[in-house]
A = this chain, B = another copy of it.
Amino acid sequence: MISIKKLVICGVGLIGGSFALALRKAGVAKRIVGIGRSPESLAKAVQLGVIDEAASSWEDALDGADFVLLAAPVGQMDAIMQAMGPHLAPGTTVTDAGSTKRDVIEAMYRHLGADLAHVVPAHPIAGAELSGVEAAFATLYQGRKVVVTPLPENEPAAVLRVREAWEACGALIHEMPPHDHDRVFAAVSHLPHLLAFGLVHDLAGRANAEQLFDFAASGFRDFTRIAGSHPEMWRDICMANRQALLGELDQYLAELAYLRALLLSGDGTRLEQHFSDARRARNAWAEKLSSQTDPAFVAE
C-alpha cells in the first residue's frame, strides 16, 4: 500500500481538505502540510485537524515532501506551478485536482518540465456547492470517479502512486487522454453549468423577476442548482476549456434551433418523439447509475 511521509496540499478547501482527511484516516499520510493564498483558511484547516501545519513558502512546504496535490482553482495553477517549480526535488510525486486538463498540463510543461516523469494530472469527479475547508470530509471520494490523464513522460510507478493515493480515498480510477477528458466534461458538466447560470441571469434581469421566481418550482430548482456554484471556479473552468465548451455550445445551439423550428411549425409529432427519445436515454442512464453507486450520489 502507498505510504506518504510528507503530503503537501496546495489549496486546502473542500477538495484538498477531503483528500487530506481521507489519506490520514487511511493511515497513508504521516504528516500533512498545507499551503495557499489565504492564511485564515490555512489556520482554520490546522484548527480543524485537516492539516498538521501551514507552510508560508514553497521552499518550506516542499522540503522533504514526497507527494503534492494541487487543489486550487484551475485559473491559479500556472502561477502556483511557476512558484513551486524551482523548489521541487526530483522524484516528488505531483498531481492535481483540476477540472480541466489541457490548460493544467500546459502549465506543467512550462514550469515543472525538469521532472515530468513524476507529474501526473488527474481530476476527481466530486464536490458540492459548498466549498472551503469547513465543508471537507473524509468520505467525499468514497465510490466516486477519479480520472487520471497520464503524460507520455510519466513513469509508470508515479502513475501507480497517484492511482493508489486516490484508491486509498475510496475512489474508482479511470484513465483517459487529456483531450478526451476535456471534451467529455465540456459536454456533461461545463455546458450544463453555463446553461444554468445563463437561465438564472436571464430571468433575474426581467422587470417581473420577483413574480417569475415566486412561481418557480422544483423543476426549476433542480435545473438551476448548479447556478449556485462558485463563480470564480467556473469562470476558470470555462476559460480554460473554452475551445471544447464552444464546440459543445454550438452543437447545443443547433439542437435548440431544431426545437425552435418544431415549435414554430407546430410539429407536435416530432416534438413528442424528441422528448420521448430524451426521456428514454435519461431514464436508462439514471437506472444504470443507481445500480452502480451508493445512495449518496456522485457529485462533481
Residues of chain B lying within 8 A (CB to CB) of residue A218:
297-300
The answer for the CA separation of A244 and B300 in the assembled complex, in Å, is: 34
The answer for the CA separation of A218 and B196 in the assembled complex, in Å, is: 14
Taking a contact as CB atoms under 8 Å apart, the answer to whether A215 and B185 are in contact is: yes
Taking a contact as CB atoms under 8 Å apart, the answer to whether A199 and B252 are in contact is: yes
Residues of chain B lying within 8 A (CB to CB) of residue A194:
259
A166 within 8 A of B: no
Residue of B nearest to A274 (CB): B201
- Given contacts A246-B260, A299-B217, whether A188 and B200 have CB atoms under 8 Å apart is no
A1 within 8 A of B: no
Residues of chain B lying within 8 A (CB to CB) of residue A220:
188-189, 192, 300
A193 within 8 A of B: yes
Interface residue ranges, A against B (CB under 8 Å): 75, 125, 145, 147, 174, 180, 184-185, 187-189, 191-204, 206, 208-209, 211-213, 215-232, 234-236, 238-239, 242, 245-246, 249-253, 255-256, 259-260, 263-264, 266, 268, 271-279, 281-283, 285-286, 288-289, 297-300
| 23 residue pairs A–B, Cβ–Cβ below 8 Å | A125-B217, A145-B215, A180-B211, A188-B217, A189-B219, A191-B199, A192-B219, A196-B223, A196-B278, A198-B256, A202-B252, A213-B281, A213-B288, A217-B300, A218-B299, A218-B300, A219-B226, A219-B300, A221-B289, A222-B225, A228-B283, A239-B263, A246-B264
Q: Min CB distance, A126 to chain B, in Å?
A: 8
Taking a contact as CB atoms under 8 Å apart, the answer to whether A184 and B200 are in contact is: no
